[in-house]
Chains A and B, each alone.
Chain A
């Protein structure tokens, strides 16, 4: 391996050096950070957020973003918990996932076909999902009935194979699927094309409306799946789950990884890096017994800092490219 290759690899994947710096820093200064069980702990804790981020990655590469994820999480969690009594556990979960797809489809339809600004659409859907979620909850927490199916649901959220939780395994599986879809399928390549330049994608014969629509449905699906898993993990659901900034943390994770909000650039491993970076920071603060609000502040500052670093590195690269 020559040095130049490594250097160009690192400057393309800025999240890796940033991640390594944070990792080494916490390994040295934070007692109890560097051991295997803590590493798996970080992974398992952030797997749910990671699942939300997978769908978000598709939408962001497509050049949009989805703000409705935060309340969709609460809505689908409540459906998964609440429908158990009337139609059973598995149909309840399926219904929750279906609602997620439906919300994604409404988002996608309004953005792709009605050409309304994605921010407006998803902001409105966020409020809509919040309202419907509260109506369904009637301002109470919902817990699955104490039947076999209900217990199985809660057990699923806590169960582990070795050190990995079931939720972590689902996350890994979804990462691999998303990687395959983005890299090797027609839909994935078209997503990059549409995100890069919608007009030229259209001229190249890509049905950009359909691509955008499908990506929003994917995002709705992963949002609902994340919500169901949250419900399984916590064994209950509350109407305030995910409110008010879950979608923001997810978008921040995706963008910190290096996926560009302008669209066309990014991949699923960036997202993994970004989400895990936020996870490492959070874990570090918890181990240091930092108060929650200091934790929030440092996370905010680091978010801005990483964005700035990424910008500097990108600027250098474009300058070099211009000179060459």
Chain B
């Protein structure tokens, strides 16, 4: 009996190893630094990762579907500048709606090119990255855009908090829970898993695999738009390069979360944990006063170790 219990515990530990890793990273920093282990800092980390975590939830869908979306960084810039400049022109609610539509439209375009025309997702989204970045530049003329009233209620989305909990963290958690339910509990979620696992088998069993791939990109575009709202409302300003290189952080988070890059498996919640690990590292490095660029080296080592451990445990299981 005891043996079996132990085995179960071991299995849980293995499947949830990423959470353990997060706790270890947090504890290490907490032991080193007094400022790090304060409650305010704990909450600050949530505020800092909100954008990346939301985008990561969308990216998880794309990666489970067996593709990449490298355009999210540029899309984040475009959505942010549109959101800020539209806020003063037509009001906050229409601005938010427009941004969500822009995000989904961009997803439709890349999804169509990848799903229906069958082009390689990496090159397509790379092309989209250039196009969206250029659109953001053209829209702003390379200028910094900011809101006239930096205390409008719109900025509360990023800056405000309910009691001690930041509103952006609440939005992030709600969004991630919804995305998680969509992935694990709905037909669409199962179809995404199936498409990523084996596209051909899916087609023969009557799933519209092309449509599914398109929808995964729409999910990613939508998530990026939500991320942009969280990001630009926090600063009440944006510029056309605000989202540069976010795609690498987002993809790193998804990889740490254990989603298979060949498609077919992954979890929105674990992606969140992966993003959190990177967020804790980033925050911790700044607080202990190490140069911020050391975080990239740490990120490199953490990713490689995590993926290697994952592979070893899979090999042991004989998968």
CA A255 – CA B293 in complex, angstroms?
32
Contact with B along A101-127 (1 / 0, CB 8 A): 000000000100011110111011111
Q: In the complex the two chains form, is B261's CB within 8 Å of A303's CB?
A: no
Q: CB within 8 Å of A: which of B59-84? A: 68, 70
Question: Hey, which chain A residues are within 8 Å of B129, CB to CB?
Answer: 245, 248, 300
Chain B residues near A127 (CB-CB < 8 A): 248, 252, 296-297, 299-300, 303
**Do residues B303 and A124 form an inter-chain contact, with CB atoms below 8 A?**
yes
At the interface, yes or no: A132 with Cβ under 8 Å from chain B? yes
Pick the contact of B123: A128, A297, A299, A307 (CB < 8 A).
A307
Q: What are the residues of chain A within 8 A of B300 when measuring CB–CB?
A: 124-125, 127-128, 131
B304 adjacent to chain A (CB < 8 Å): yes
Which of B127, B255, B262 lies at the interface centre, i.e. has the most chain A CB atoms within 10 A of its CB?
A: B127
Q: Determine the main DSSP class of B at the interface with A.
A: helix
In the complex, the answer to whether A300 meets B127 with C-beta atoms within 8 Å is yes
Question: Is A307 within 8 A of B295, CB to CB?
Answer: no
Q: A253-268 vs B: 1/0 string, CB under 8 Å?
A: 0010000010000000
CA distance A238 to B296 in the complex (A): 17
| B136 CB to nearest A CB, Å | 8
A301 touches B127 (CB 8 A): yes
| Partner pick for B296 among A115, A131, A251, A261, CB 8 A cutoff | A131
Interface string of B112-132 (1 = CB under 8 A from A): 010001111011101111110
The verdict on B171 contacting chain A, using a C-beta distance below 8 Å, is no
- Given A123-B255, A255-B123, A128-B133 contact (CB < 8 Å): no
Contact check, B130 vs A296: say whether CB atoms are below 8 A apart: yes
By the criterion CB–CB under 8 Å, are B113 and A244 in contact? Answer: no
Q: How large is the interface on B (under 10, 10 to 19, 20 to 34, 35 or more residues)?
A: 35 or more
Chain A CB count within 10 A is highest, among B70, B117, B255, B303, for B303
| B5 located at the interface, meaning its Cβ lies under 8 Å from any Cβ of chain A in the complex | no
Task: Tell me the chain B residues, 93-144 only, with Cβ under 8 Å from chain A.
Answer: 113, 117-120, 122-124, 126-131, 133-135, 137-138, 142
**Count, chain A residues at interface, CB 8 A:** 40
User: A304 near B: Cβ within 8 Å?
Assistant: yes
A178: interface (CB < 8 Å): no
In this complex, the member of B126, B296, B297 whose beta carbon has the largest number of chain A beta carbons within 10 angstroms is B296
B residues less than 8 Å from A297 (CB atoms): 130-131, 133-135, 138
Assembly CA distance A251 to B68 (angstroms)? 15
User: Are B303 and A311 in contact (CB-based, < 8 A)?
Assistant: no
The answer to whether the Cβ of B291 comes within 8 Å of any Cβ in the partner chain is yes
Return chain A residues, CB-CB under 8 Å to B293: 130-131, 134-135, 139
A63 to B126 alpha-carbon distance, docked (Å): 19
Partner pick for B311 among A115, A128, A130, A299, CB 8 A cutoff:
A115
Contacts of B128 in A (CB 8 A): 300, 304
With CB as the reference atom, state the residue of chain B lying closest to A116.
B307
Residues of chain A lying within 8 A (CB to CB) of residue B131: 296-297, 300-301
Give the distance in Å from the alpha carbon of A322 to the alpha carbon of B251 in the complex: 39
Q: How far is the CA of A294 from the CA of B248 in the complex (A)?
A: 24
Residue in B closest to A132 when the chains form the complex, CB atoms: B297
29 interchain pairs, CB-CB under 8 A: A114-B308, A115-B311, A120-B255, A120-B307, A121-B304, A123-B251, A126-B248, A127-B299, A127-B300, A127-B303, A128-B296, A128-B297, A128-B299, A130-B296, A131-B295, A135-B297, A245-B126, A255-B120, A255-B123, A261-B122, A294-B138, A296-B130, A297-B131, A297-B135, A300-B131, A301-B127, A301-B131, A303-B123, A311-B117
Q: What 15 additional pairs, Cβ within 8 angstroms, besides A124-B301, A248-B70, A252-B123?
A: A114-B308, A116-B308, A117-B307, A119-B68, A132-B297, A139-B293, A244-B244, A245-B126, A248-B126, A261-B120, A293-B133, A296-B134, A297-B135, A303-B123, A308-B119
